[in-house]
Structure 1
């Protein structure tokens, strides 16, 4: 048991002040459920209203600040955060379950988001002149208080990719991190908030429904940026409709990977495929959730992927030898376990493999070895639903028209990948795939964090391509003379 909690444990942030309240809940280490990492404050509706008021007051001054000043402050905050990455990596592993490598990479990317956004702001904010029968300028202005609601699976990047452009654009934010994994976000945003005027960054924690419903039904909140389940996203849309808040959402995914008969499946390619499936224990909305393989290569892919899964070392992410950590929470662990059990009972074959790093403490955490499913059909639960865990169905196909139909047979449309040596064919297929982004011979995220493409169908709302997301948190208007 580690008794020293982070300084932000059990507190919320309002107008530059960290406040304690009586009602809290424990934040549990998913690798050792007997360890309490810290506490999370359970904020009431009344507290949330006070925080919104503080953010609205701060907005009146912050929105009129100079963009050069905002950029400079962000760069200073980024330098400070970069200096304390190491001390936050361990905290992140303990509350989230990621491995040390995954956790450090996520934190470094947060610094990258800050620096990239600060630079992009200066390029993007300048008025755009439209030529025609009269001179028209497209000018930009901040919108108002922004609610940022983020999940437990990849909380750092997903929070920073919304908070940073929102405040750079001149808005103030109310951040609601997931109750299962709030501490590292709060620890890092504490550093960022100290570089900005009080009230620019505010944080509330607790019940998703209480806080979410309050934020999304308050007319003072002008933008809602949400990452999470499609079901919750639909509730947010309903609550936001009354005040016509701008809504920006990244939701669920059921990403297909399509492997054609000419794919180069060397050792590195199989490793990329494995990483696309098992990154963060499969708890990534844009992870591969279905693999379609041309029938001529089906047995080969199953054999090679199984061999690669056999090398996966599952254990406490704090141990350097672990290559995959536990699932984050009991609800997700139970869901995936029961899904695998139902899949096995349905007649499909489930092959579970991998290495238990510490068998003697296996039952103390939400550990799960990776599994490959064969013999499932397109209508199977394991194929149609988002499993969000380390289990993957592999299905054969015979021709391109068939596999595109199968890949598009989903209510989701977040990401997809095409594995072939024929780039022209990959582009032709990408044009037909219903996904917000398609990768060629890989399934990952964009190297340039200024780029992002939210999904189609039930995988997202609003379209983004570049500019670090700044356009989502501003309104543009025309000035003519």
Structure 2
């Protein structure tokens, strides 16, 4: 296990130089809160402004580079990054909490995103001729400096899905990682940034309020990409309005899984359901947050899912046997614990199961066994709120009309899933569900990383993409003659 601090610890990146911060905060291992994994820089107001200036200056020349040059740099960086994946898995586990298998997948997907982006760049860039009396061509160009403000739950994938298309399309970026979990991400960005001109990638860390205010109000920032809570997203939108920035927002979710009367709930299906709920200890915006089961199958599904949860080993993600790690931080741990306690107080049945991998050190981390909650209704707090933890309410329903109404009865609309053997019915229900994407007999991610679909309602802003998100960081303009 790597126990020394990474070389980016306590530093930030401006103009191609990693600068030692005057003030830092500790990054804590959520599986052992007494372990300091490294330090995160607390950037000042002037340093954040310097990062924007660095990006703005670099943009003037970077926007003029050829597509071939950008793609070649990205591919070279991806190949170099692939060499250091294995040695950085433990760092990521120690600051984030995910088990080894999940953590390694995250790191490898960053490499895949880079390679796919380089390939997709040439498809995205092709000009389009519009039909009509006048010859009009639609062409594409970068917008300028993009601010990329990222969360702690899946920081690498979410950041790379924004940094990669932004710089490939000719923009420059200022990245603001989460202070809870910045180290593996910054280690990766250190490698990637070395393949691009100074100032194309800048990284600042510290107070979300201070850095966010500057990035959102500075007129040199033309695009803001944010992943996080809906309330914070609304605040960012308000602050960005004065300079009419383009907003790419992936916000909260309260995803329903609807299990119909004819669904096959065999071992494979229950495993998929469990993974849709408990991946990253439930700390995934697109994870299943509510399960609705037809009343004729309710007891069966509750029983099968309970047995599935009983076999979950919870512990330090660095241990190979850990199937689920801790929650990432104290605030989230206390929030989820509060939800569970209030559910019990309201009369709900909370069945907490699973296996403590190391009972002796359990209280040294933010560990939580998975819980299934029954005896709740549509208005229960634990049903209406985004839990973002290893706890799942299960509710019965009688009719399709009833369950569609319950599934849509939320301000969120990120993802949903329909479990049935009738594909035609699944499609018809998907058309009625208010969600950015609906999965059939599964609840997962798109295997093709160049695809993405935003959330509906208060779960996001943007549109679907077929080009690794390049549309979010570019403008189309018309050329007519």
In the other structure, the counterpart of 1:395 is 395
In the other structure, the counterpart of 1:119 is 119
Q: Distance in 1 between matches of 2:204 and 2:407?
A: 39
What SS class does the counterpart of residue 468 from structure 1 fall into? coil
Q: Distance in 1 between matches of 2:14 and 2:320?
A: 38
Q: Is the 8 A contact 1:223 1:246 kept in 2?
A: yes
Q: Distance in 2 between matches of 1:34 and 1:135?
A: 67
Q: Is the 8 A contact 2:247 2:461 kept in 1?
A: yes
**TM-score of the pair, normalised by structure 2:** 0.99
Q: 1:130 deviation in Å?
A: 1.6
In the other structure, the counterpart of 2:449 is 449
In the other structure, the counterpart of 2:212 is 212
Report the RMSD for the aligned CA atoms in angstroms.
Answer: 0.8
The yes-or-no answer on 1:429 pairing with 2:426 is no
Distance 1:426 1:181, change over 3 A: same
In the other structure, the counterpart of 1:272 is 272
Q: Distance in 2 between matches of 1:2 and 1:479?
A: 55
In the other structure, the counterpart of 1:255 is 255
Q: Distance in 2 between matches of 1:222 and 1:62?
A: 15
Q: How does 1:141-152 map to 2 (within 5 A)?
A: 141-152=141-152
Q: Distance in 1 between matches of 2:409 and 2:465?
A: 25
The yes-or-no answer on 1:329 pairing with 2:338 is no
Q: Distance in 2 between matches of 1:427 and 1:167?
A: 37
Q: Distance in 2 between matches of 1:154 and 1:70?
A: 26
The yes-or-no answer on 1:104 pairing with 2:94 is no
Q: After TM superposition, which residue ranges in structure 1, 4 or more long, deviate above 4 angstroms?
A: none
In the other structure, the counterpart of 2:80 is 80
In the other structure, the counterpart of 2:353 is 353
Q: 1:266 deviation in Å?
A: 0.5
What SS class does the counterpart of residue 289 from structure 1 fall into? strand
Q: Distance in 1 between matches of 2:324 and 2:3?
A: 26
In the other structure, the counterpart of 1:34 is 34
Q: Is the 8 A contact 1:263 1:421 kept in 2?
A: yes
Q: 1:2 deviation in Å?
A: 7.0
Q: Is the 8 A contact 1:140 1:476 kept in 2?
A: yes
Q: Is the 8 A contact 2:15 2:202 kept in 1?
A: yes
Q: 1:132 deviation in Å?
A: 1.9
Cα deviations by residue, 1:184-229 (Å, 9 ceiling, x for unpaired): 1100010000000000000000000000010000000000000000
Q: Distance in 1 between matches of 2:462 and 2:471?
A: 11
Q: Distance in 1 between matches of 2:46 and 2:131?
A: 50
Q: Distance in 2 between matches of 1:47 and 1:18?
A: 12
Q: How many residues align?
A: 481
What SS class does the counterpart of residue 432 from structure 1 fall into? coil
In the other structure, the counterpart of 2:374 is 374
**TM-score of the pair, normalised by structure 1:** 0.99
In the other structure, the counterpart of 2:293 is 293
Q: Is the 8 A contact 1:2 1:37 kept in 2?
A: no
Q: 1:135 deviation in Å?
A: 1.6
Q: 1:45 deviation in Å?
A: 1.1
Q: Distance in 2 between matches of 1:68 and 1:251?
A: 34
Q: 1:131 deviation in Å?
A: 2.5
Q: Is the 8 A contact 2:2 2:91 kept in 1?
A: no
Q: Distance in 2 between matches of 1:389 and 1:271?
A: 18
Q: 1:338 deviation in Å?
A: 1.0
Distance 1:319 1:3, change over 3 A: closer
Q: How does 1:461-480 map to 2 (within 5 A)?
A: 461-480=461-480
Q: Distance in 2 between matches of 1:271 and 1:124?
A: 37
Cα deviations by residue, 1:430-476 (Å, 9 ceiling, x for unpaired): 00000000000000000001111110111001112311000110111
What SS class does the counterpart of residue 467 from structure 1 fall into? coil
Q: Distance in 1 between matches of 2:125 and 2:473?
A: 12
Q: Distance in 2 between matches of 1:87 and 1:215?
A: 33
Cα deviations by residue, 1:411-434 (Å, 9 ceiling, x for unpaired): 100000000000000000000000
Distance 1:164 1:376, change over 3 A: same
What SS class does the counterpart of residue 468 from structure 2 fall into? helix
Q: Distance in 2 between matches of 1:36 and 1:340?
A: 29
Q: Distance in 2 between matches of 1:191 and 1:395?
A: 47
Gaps of 5+ in 1: none
Q: 1:4 deviation in Å?
A: 1.4
What SS class does the counterpart of residue 234 from structure 2 fall into? helix
The yes-or-no answer on 1:228 pairing with 2:228 is yes
What SS class does the counterpart of residue 211 from structure 1 fall into? helix
The yes-or-no answer on 1:25 pairing with 2:25 is yes
Q: Distance in 2 between matches of 1:458 and 1:131?
A: 36
What SS class does the counterpart of residue 458 from structure 1 fall into? helix
Larger mean CA deviation between 82-91 and 297-306 belongs to 82-91
Q: Is the 8 A contact 2:2 2:90 kept in 1?
A: no
Q: 1:3 deviation in Å?
A: 5.5
Q: How does 1:147-226 map to 2 (within 5 A)?
A: 147-226=147-226
